[in-house]
Structure 1
């Protein structure tokens, strides 16, 4: 897992690298600038395009000055530098790079103030004004400048972090940030890049390695981690010779009602496709024909009016409950019965979560190691209103620890909070998957993995990654605008085979 660092820890990593490599700070800045330029020149190949590099007077501005100089060395001819000198402060590395750029023919303009009608003629802007150290909202001339630049229809690329954006901590609704098409960020994603508050400000980001000490990064005390493919390959287990359906467990999916059989069909189908040896769906009598027609591989356990039939609880390796159940009194009774009779981890989703939010006394009856899979609104119903995603992930971390549960908080970079107090950000998935029923598929995937004796944490990490990766393998190569849940289910066995190859 890649540890994700706060802005303070990133500065500590810089300092550690400088002290222990050893390398001078100006040489580390040059290395970062070369990494930026290496990515930039491979993707912005028009060397006649007009480019304006906006530089603050700190180290992010020093990066910008070095980038401008290196771009000219690579043959970019229509380039200018604008220095935002809105205070008397300047870092020593900025001053060093300023002296270097003055020895070139690059035109340099210094801004000491900005009017409300400020404009920029270049077609592409490189933003190197404030970087990762910002810890308060933009004011004064920076506020005016960013407002003006946001009104222009320019391609904008940020160096490491867009001006006005916090790398970690709470971002206020309506915060003023320079809107950028791309961030070329150093060493690793910034934590807030992975939260929805980044959406209005950042279209996409790319990470370039600048050689910070991996030893320091691996040892840093952080609860935040980014899940990578190599981590998932270490978790995923191939199927072995001489195994049989009993080897891979028996899952029970309690879901669906007369009007919502689609939810249980998707969840139980995903459970079977991800490899559960046996899958049983507990469904209303009216759903039997639909289940037998759509998924003959799935067995049926019939219930009446929300009441559970007699269940041999020890027969099942894992139970999932919630998709399409509704929030009537019958669902409450179903949940009580599960929590009273079953001691292994349970996967709890959808309407089961909504019922729990109204009956909080049941939260402390959930079996240890269970997995909650809320989207944002379900999460807030369970744990109270949150004003931003930073607040949500802190609550998820706290509640997972207090309750001994795993919480999967779904978004673009779905976050898994574990009882050990860690927050894992998932790297797979795409907007084509934003369609009804996709959460039911995820519930089935995780349930199927638990049936196969994956630990709850591993089932969360592998399940979320596998679910998103299957969607990526469908949407991205085929340029699909929408990927329906049923096609993700069908892709699961092939995607799992690749991960275990």
Structure 2
């Protein structure tokens, strides 16, 4: 699992690596430039591509100068370097790499202002102006130059971070390079994982530059990025004498007469994710559909539920398509009052909580709330930005002692212990109705199977996205019904070899 860092922490890791490897800072810069150049060449193999490289006079600019030299060595001859000479100061590593590039008799021009350059034609534009150290908005010539570069035709690549974008925190303004591809060093930046980056980064790739991983792991950070290899350590192989009674009984409470589809998706996802027994509490009008779609699932009427022994259920998932009627409110209140094991709360159950805030205090510890952005804001108050949501999610998860799954392209899992896990799997092809209902069923199922809450949520979120990734290789849009069918195959693939 990768620990994610702020810009300041990344700088600290740089300095630690330089001192303790030991390695000269210029040699670490060379390592970064070589890592960048390697993946660049893999994508742009034609040495006849024309390339413009914009460099500032700091270390990001030094990266750009080193990249220019390495590309010249690799046979790319149509390279023009522009140095934004807007400040008197330059770093030692910038000057070192400028001297080395000048020995190549490279085409280098200094820009005293943004007016010194007109719109340029090039196949590739590389942005190495300012990098990750930015802590204030661009102004004056920097702002003008960025806006001008954004008008250039050609494929734009940023070195480490698009110029004008902070690594974390609110964006200062929209004066940011709009990169087609950002090649970033050692770790993705936190803002890359949030929707605020989408106008400025179409695609990004992490390259390893050999920073000291032991020091990174010792650094205090609440942010982690989890991958396939992490959840493979969690998943349990079925044992020879296991039977359905040992694999948990899950109850899904979902659906209304006009929204039965959500209940069926959630129930089927729960069954296909491996729960030993799955019972669905749905309106009687959906019984025929349930028997047709998920014949393995059992049915529970609301009347029989009132008389049921809730202890037989390991977990309850509630909310998809439930509606917000008075009967739905009463049902949720009864569950929260009488069921003290973890509950997976989604969709309309979240909307009910938003309207009846007194019920929030009844949520059992270690329950799982799975809001999307609008549901989160309805539940915890209107947020002005994604960073406000993150701050509030940390607060609410620790205060309520619950897990909050804030659904997004890179879904975030907030824990009662104050940790935020970013999911690495998923595809834009999954942007279709019913995906949240499926995820709720998966989380509920894994909790029934005696996974810890943290592992169940991570495994469900990753598997959900991974199934979508696999289907997106063959499908333009991934419907929720198709994703459900993929679940058993994905879980089988994730079993430790």
State the TM-score, normalized to the length of structure 2. 0.98
Q: Does 1:484 align with 2:479?
A: yes
Query: 2:275·2:446 contact (CA, 8 Å) conserved in 1?
Result: yes
CA distance in 2, matches of 1:54, 1:442: 44
Structure 1 residue 286 displacement after superposition: 0.8
Q: Does 1:223 align with 2:226?
A: no
Partner of 1:380: 377
Partner of 1:121: 121
Q: Does 1:44 align with 2:44?
A: yes
Q: Does 1:243 align with 2:242?
A: yes
CA distance in 1, matches of 2:130, 2:14: 17
Structure 1 residue 188 displacement after superposition: 1.0
CA distance in 2, matches of 1:331, 1:105: 75
CA distance in 1, matches of 2:307, 2:47: 73
In the TM superposition, 1:451-490 aligns within 5 A as: 451-476=448-473, 478=474, 480-490=475-485
CA distance in 1, matches of 2:411, 2:352: 23
Name the SS of the counterpart of 2:233 in structure 1. Answer: helix
Partner of 1:414: 411
Deviations 1:434-456 (A, max 9, x none): 00000000000000000001111
Deviations 1:3-23 (A, max 9, x none): 000000000000000011000
Partner of 1:158: 158
Query: 1:137·1:175 contact (CA, 8 Å) conserved in 2?
Result: no
Name the SS of the counterpart of 1:118 in structure 2. Answer: coil
Deviations 1:364-403 (A, max 9, x none): 1100000000000000111111121111111111111111
Structure 1 residue 302 displacement after superposition: 1.5
Partner of 1:139: 139
Query: 1:126·1:158 contact (CA, 8 Å) conserved in 2?
Result: yes
Name the SS of the counterpart of 1:77 in structure 2. Answer: coil
Name the SS of the counterpart of 1:11 in structure 2. Answer: helix
Partner of 1:27: 27
Structure 1 residue 86 displacement after superposition: 0.7
Partner of 1:369: 366
Structure 1 residue 59 displacement after superposition: 0.3
CA distance in 1, matches of 2:306, 2:338: 13
Deviations 1:473-494 (A, max 9, x none): 1112x2x110111111101001
Query: 2:65·2:97 contact (CA, 8 Å) conserved in 1?
Result: yes
CA distance in 1, matches of 2:490, 2:228: 12
Partner of 1:496: 491
Partner of 2:388: 391
In the TM superposition, 1:411-450 aligns within 5 A as: 411-450=408-447
Q: Does 1:198 align with 2:197?
A: yes
Partner of 1:343: 340
Partner of 2:313: 316
Structure 1 residue 152 displacement after superposition: 2.4
CA distance in 2, matches of 1:178, 1:257: 48
Gaps of 5+ in 2: none
Partner of 2:176: 177
Structure 1 residue 116 displacement after superposition: 9.7
Query: 2:121·2:154 contact (CA, 8 Å) conserved in 1?
Result: no
Partner of 1:56: 56
CA distance in 1, matches of 2:445, 2:397: 22
Gaps of 5+ in 1: none
Structure 1 residue 311 displacement after superposition: 2.2
Name the SS of the counterpart of 1:408 in structure 2. Answer: strand
Count of equivalent residues: 496
Structure 1 residue 175 displacement after superposition: 2.1
CA distance in 2, matches of 1:407, 1:193: 21
CA distance in 1, matches of 2:83, 2:458: 45
Q: Does 1:286 align with 2:308?
A: no
Partner of 2:213: 214
RMSD, aligned α-carbons: 1.2
Partner of 1:252: 251
CA distance in 2, matches of 1:356, 1:492: 30
Structure 1 residue 46 displacement after superposition: 1.3
